[in-house]
Amino acid sequence: MSLVHWAILAPFILAIFVPFFRKKAATIHTGWFVLILPVVLFVSFLQYLPVTMNNNSITHSAAWIPSLGIDFSVYIDGLSLLFILLITGIGSLVVLYSIYYLSKTKESLQHFYVYLLMFMGAMLGVVLSDNVITLYMFWELTSISSFLLIAYWFDRDRSRYGALKSMLITVFGGLMMLGGFLVLSIMGGTFSIRELAVQAPDLYHHPLFLLAMILILLGAFTKSAQFPFYIWLPDAMEAPTPVSAYLHSATMVKAGIYLVARFSPIFAFSSYWFWIVSAVGLFTMIWASFNAVKQTDLKGILAYSTVSQLGLIMGLLGAGSAALYFDSLDDNLYTAAVIAAIFHLINHATFKGSLFMVVGIIDHETGTRDIRRLGGLMSLMPVTFTLSVIGAFSMAGLPPFNGFLSKEMFFLSMVQLSELNLFNLETWGIFFPVLAWIGSVFTFIYSMIIVFTVFTGKFQPEKLEKKPHEAPAGMLVSPIILAVLVIVFGLFPNLLSYSLIQPAAAAIVPSIIPSGEQLDVNIYFWHGITAELLMTIAVVLVGIILYTFLPKWVGLYNYFPGKVTLNNLYDASLYTVERGSNSITKSYMSGFIRSYLVYIFAFFIALLGFTLWAKDAFRYDASNTSPIGYYEIGLLVVLCVATATILMAKSRLTSIISLGAVGYSVSLFFVIFRAPDLALTQLVIETVSTALFLLCFYHLPKLSRHEEKMSFQIGNALIAAGVGITVTLIGITAHSTKLFSSINEYYIENTYKKAGGENMVNVILVDFRGFDTLFEIAVLSVAALGIYALIKLRLEKGDDSVNENK
Amino acid sequence: MKTNDVIFQTVAKVVFFMIIFFAVRIFFAGHYYPGGGFVGGLLTSGAIVLLLLAFDLKTVKKILPVDYKWLISLGLLFATGTAAGSVLFNVPFFTHAYDYFQLPLFGKTSLHTAMLFDLGVYLVVIGVTMTIIQTIGESE
């Protein structure tokens, strides 16, 4: 266990003490105790920067289940360090923000911080794990803690609905991913991601390659809210705003991005990877940005915008993988796309985190997040306004913020992609920049909505629950830090180029870089009049026009069929599954024992009959049979007549007596076949059981004591005949195929010699195989005590007094 | 409806002992001839049922003041005890031993630990049958 291991475990350990802080130091907001940890972690992980900057990595291994090859090994390279710094850095800011956001007295802080710390530890585990099984474990822990955090206000219906939805979708993806991991580890023979990446060129030719890829991508897409799995994210906005800022914009939803980036070295050789990842990403981007415009809830807008931006990053990662697939390319596309993805990942975390916090402030200070009720807050909340301008303009991709740069790089890589002439269809390539451009226009529009609808226009105090005023200073610290970062990264992008972006890009596909060299990462603020700059100008112009005339065309959204949404599909499918399984269960669990017997016997006939037929197992061999005597024929006739009488009898009494006749004839058979012990026992037992039947008959209730013949049903007759025939065939077959001789010779020899008896049956019962007898008398005892208890212990329904007295 | 069943009762008194002796005979002969604990137990309880038919539950309880549930546990104890006893002599569970002894009255007789096990079976069967019949008979 190295220090890095302890860093992953530290949040879990601290989580244990959170309730203690809450109880013993109730006067101090619990968040202050929690805040220390992410800050310490952030600072201590900074020391790895020099290591990763030289494209080196650090591995620490600790045994967990060595016999299964599962270990708890951590791996720090540029990619994981980038995520660690995001998780701990934004984690610190979110904890600080939550201290002012959540009331010390009204909220159950112990739960909040336990869940949050759990999530933080799990997230660290996801990005640091090298072993896929450990990765999966932490992955599910993020799902669980996210579930708990979304339903933090568990007395609200919407919270529980959102939590359940996110749980179902992300756990579905998580399980698919586990399947993918297992398939992958079967292919590669190891659980370690690094060792798998080494084998990547061989794995590509494995028949299971595509299956593993799709399963792992399902996990990544569900977690990162890609189309069509994004539907849980808007509903997860019921969580407290710090949670939305942390989990649903900066960290957890990027776990899928991390997964795609981490597994790129393994899968990116395949063109499927390129097509699936980039197509899903781009489609998600345009679809979500399109949907974000019609939202009226601020957090709803942000949720859709998160989905859209994640789609953008995903699309860029996909585009970057094309550089691996098309060997003929130089590294330019890869450099452009992957670096754009990483840069935008950082940028998105900064501006989206601050925007969520801004929305949280607006919600906190006005009591609503509905943009139809908000307006004219600019003069009342100047700091918040400034922050939202920075965040939203960066999101829209305007200079001088960092979003501008990553948007430019996005366009650049899309333009480069369009020049590839994929599959010799020149028309296909052009789709990439066009889709990207349309998505960006919508992004521009909703970013403007966030700023201008809320802060300009007419102030409507009568629609607000509280009197709005500027937020307390403590609440503003975190968004201010993030907004400052937005500007700093925008103005000085090369601050990050070689410290964070280059190592992360190098980690995603190490094989593309000649050893000992570094990728050329140089992000210029001004790079001349290029296609992408013109595209951005066009985005701004069209965006401004569309935003100005928004009320004129927003009605167009109503033309879209409102019912046909993925949410309705999800709800309907849940409903259908529930109703469907209910009706299926109802259709065959009829509650009648008769139907269950029909199933059992039908399966009996089907399985055994089919086996007999399919294996061609039926044999008939008369060489071992004895000659048939007259007594046997006579007795058989009696037996058959008695059996037929049972079935045909009009009265139950006749049936009982016939059953007795059957029993006595069986005991006569025992006599004929020379089994005196059996005959004796059968005689006595038959007498007793007939007496008991008569007892039951006597006590039948008067009302239903119809003397009527058993009704004939063709189905029952067929099944009965089927069972009889099957058993008979199996009996004949079994008798005809004697594979080895019986062991009875031993008993015959040794009954007297070893056991000192002459009655072989009895000696077998009490000596050779006395163990069986012991438990048979135990069965008898249980039966007797059961009858005693049934008769003596007569509890009335709902009568608890008997139990209480005892 | 009170009937006079003097004949039945008198015959029952005599036949009871005949059945009991037959049952004991069958029980002891089990190792050499058809019979054994199971049938012996059933016949013994048959004899008691005869008493039950001839007299009534209360009378029979007075004649045979036995709680048959105890008989069940006693029988199980005999059976498991015999089986477990072999462990004391460092042989596997359920190993029986027998030998011939010179007994007064009987002469040279074979005594077998399997008989103790069979006694357990015998007691259990009596206990079970009588418990069932008595319980059903008593129930309203």
Kindly list the domain boundaries of chain B, sorted by start residue: 6-138
SS3 A226: coil
- Does B98 sit within 8 Å of A759, measured CB to CB? no
**Residues of chain B neighbouring A755 (CB-CB closer than 8 A):** 96, 98, 114
| Backbone conformation region of residue A401, classed left if phi is above 0, alpha if psi is from -120 to 50, else beta | beta
Instruction: Say whether the peptide bond before residue A207 is cis (omega within 30 degrees of 0).
Output: no
pLDDT band for A699, please (50, 70, 90 cuts): confident
Structure tokens at A719: 């099944």
Q: What is the distance between the alpha carbons of residues A663 and A682, in angstroms, rounded to a whole number?
A: 7
- Does A755 sit within 8 Å of B96, measured CB to CB? yes
Contact (Cβ atoms closer than 8 angstroms) between residue A296 and residue A229: no
How long, in residues, is chain A? 806
Contact (Cβ atoms closer than 8 angstroms) between residue A500 and residue A78: yes
Return the residue matching tokens 């289940």. Answer: A65
Q: What are phi and psi of B102, to 5 degrees?
A: -95, 100
pLDDT at residue B44, as a whole number? 92
Closest CA to A9 of A139, A125, A104, A151: A125
What global pTM score does this model have?
0.81
pLDDT band for A806, please (50, 70, 90 cuts): very low
Contact (Cβ atoms closer than 8 angstroms) between residue A388 and residue A355: yes
Q: Which of B22, B25, B31, B50 to mutate to test the interface with A (most CBs of A within 10 A)?
A: B31
ipTM of the complex: 0.91
- Does A787 sit within 8 Å of B131, measured CB to CB? yes
Contact (Cβ atoms closer than 8 angstroms) between residue A102 and residue A152: no
Residues 756-795 of A with CB under 8 A from B: 756-759, 761-763, 765-767, 770-771, 773-774, 777-778, 780-781, 783-785, 787-788, 791-792
pLDDT at residue A336, as a whole number? 74
Farthest-apart Cα atoms in chain B, separation: 64
The closest CB to that of B135, out of A680, A757, A787, belongs to A787
Chain A residue whose CA is closest to B129: A784
**Residues of chain B neighbouring A764 (CB-CB closer than 8 A):** none
SS3 B110: strand
Contact (Cβ atoms closer than 8 angstroms) between residue A73 and residue A129: yes
Per-residue burial over A74-92, b = 16 or more CB atoms within 10 Å of its CB, e = otherwise: bbbbbbbbbbbbbbbbbbb
Each residue's pLDDT tens digit, A677-698: 899 989 988 988 888 888 888 7
Q: Which of B19, B39, B108, B115 to mutate to test the interface with A (most CBs of A within 10 A)?
A: B39
Q: What are phi and psi of B4, to 5 degrees?
A: -95, 110
**Residues of chain A neighbouring B124 (CB-CB closer than 8 A):** 777, 780-781
CB count within 10 Å of CB A641 equals 13
Chain B residue whose CA is closest to A757: B31
Each residue's pLDDT tens digit, A419-471: 766 555 556 667 788 888 888 999 999 998 888 888 887 777 777 767 767 77
- Does A766 sit within 8 Å of B118, measured CB to CB? yes
Taking the CA of residue A701 and the nearest CA in chain B, the distance in Å comes to 14
Each residue's pLDDT tens digit, A624-634: 788 888 889 99
pLDDT in tens, chain B (140 residues): 567 788 999 999 999 999 999 999 999 888 888 888 899 999 999 899 888 888 888 888 888 898 999 999 999 998 998 888 888 888 888 888 877 777 777 777 777 888 888 899 999 999 999 998 888 888 76
- Does A685 sit within 8 Å of B128, measured CB to CB? no
Q: Average pLDDT for residues A615-638, to the nearest whole number?
A: 86
Q: What is the distance between the alpha carbons of residues A785 and A190, in angstroms, rounded to a whole number?
A: 58
Q: What is the distance between the alpha carbons of residues A497 and A505, in angstroms, rounded to a whole number?
A: 10
Put simply, whether B85 touches A (Cβ < 8 Å) is no
pLDDT at residue A122, as a whole number? 93
**Residue A192, strand partner residues:** A131
Task: Write the CA distances from A119 to A10, A793, B67, integer angstroms.
Answer: 12, 54, 65
pLDDT at residue A410, as a whole number? 87
Structure tokens at A542: 């069209």
Each residue's pLDDT tens digit, A501-544: 888 888 887 766 665 566 666 666 566 677 778 888 888 888 88
